[in-house]
């Protein structure tokens, strides 16, 4: 299904086919302002190439869901394997050129997929940070245990108490002045907290 893409350009994310009504209208408007138009096209081109570069790091699940042409998918896969700087630069220009042929809906889907990946990972990082704070509070003092059990009553309280006791024991330095040590119980508390938070 490789239709020959129409020649044209993008203006504010919208594809304008050469010779179309819109193209002629824009050209009439831009008489005398061609410098601006070239600058806009250059910016648009740079932005689309940057989007193409970001697609290289997109998770497989999100990438395969995008309605991209086989040619673009292949170009992005090839770019991942090129290690030579100049070769990679040329390949990314090619990716940019193919990106310029995408319609506005596909470009929107690309931006949304990249957004999901960015914010998904920010959300995950926040959850990990919160689990770390809980773990440290549980090890530091007994009042946190009561708070935790109120929030997550289905926690195995006996198991958690035993882990906290063990983590405190492990953390005591062998000699005064030595740094705190963290043993397995400390890591186990983190896993337990993380799992309950994910399901709670």
CA distance 182 to 126: 22
For residues 14 and 97, state if they share a domain. yes
For residues 177 and 143, state if they share a domain. yes
75: its two tokens: 């170009």
**Residue 75 lies inside a defined structural domain of this protein:** yes
For residues 94 and 128, state if they share a domain. no
**Residue 150 lies inside a defined structural domain of this protein:** yes
**How high is the pLDDT of residue 20?**
76
**Residue 34 lies inside a defined structural domain of this protein:** yes
- Give 133-187 pLDDT, tens digit per residue: 999 999 998 999 999 999 999 999 999 999 999 999 887 766 666 666 677 888 8
Residue 21 sits at φ, ψ, to 5 deg, of -55, -45
The number of folded domains in the chain is: 2
Domain of residue 91 covers: 8-102
**Residue 68 lies inside a defined structural domain of this protein:** yes
Strands 14-17 and 8-11 come out as antiparallel
Residue 9 sits at φ, ψ, to 5 deg, of -155, 170
For residues 96 and 144, state if they share a domain. no
For residues 134 and 194, state if they share a domain. yes
- 63-76 mean pLDDT: 88
State the average pLDDT for the chain. Answer: 83
For residues 82 and 128, state if they share a domain. no
Q: Which candidate, 104, 16, 97, places its Cα nearest to that of 67? A: 104
**Residue 191 lies inside a defined structural domain of this protein:** yes
CATH number of the domain to which 169 belongs: 1.10.60.30
For residues 17 and 62, state if they share a domain. yes
For residues 95 and 149, state if they share a domain. no
**How high is the pLDDT of residue 119?**
82
For residues 85 and 129, state if they share a domain. no
**Residue 111 lies inside a defined structural domain of this protein:** no
Does pLDDT of 54 surpass 80? Answer: yes
For residues 16 and 90, state if they share a domain. yes
For residues 127 and 76, state if they share a domain. no
Question: What count of residues does the chain have?
Answer: 200
Element containing residue 72 per DSSP (H, E): helix 70-81
Q: How many Å is the Cα radius of gyration of the chain?
A: 27
**How high is the pLDDT of residue 143?**
92
């Amino acid at each position: 299904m490789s239709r020959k893409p129409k020649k044209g350009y993008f203006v504010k994310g919208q594809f304008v086919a050469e010779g179309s009504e819109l193209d002629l209208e824009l050209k009439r408007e831009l008489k005398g302002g061609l410098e601006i138009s070239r600058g806009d096209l250059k910016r648009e081109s740079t932005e689309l190439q940057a989007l193409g570069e970001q697609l290289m790091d997109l998770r497989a699940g999100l990438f395969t869901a995008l309605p991209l042409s086989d040619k673009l998918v292949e170009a992005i896969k090839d770019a991942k394997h090129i290690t030579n700087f100049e070769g990679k630069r040329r390949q990314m220009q090619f990716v940019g050129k193919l990106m310029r042929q995408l319609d506005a809906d596909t470009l929107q889907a690309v931006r949304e997929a990249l957004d999901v990946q960015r914010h998904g990972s920010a959300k995950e990082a926040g959850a990990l940070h919160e689990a770390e704070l809980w773990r440290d509070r549980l090890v530091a003092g007994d009042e946190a245990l009561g708070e935790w059990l109120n929030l997550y009553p289905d926690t195995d309280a006996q198991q958690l108490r035993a882990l906290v006791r063990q983590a405190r024991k492990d953390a005591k330095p062998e000699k005064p002045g030595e740094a705190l040590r963290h043993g397995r119980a400390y890591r186990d508390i983190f896993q337990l907290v993380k799992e309950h938070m994910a399901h709670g």
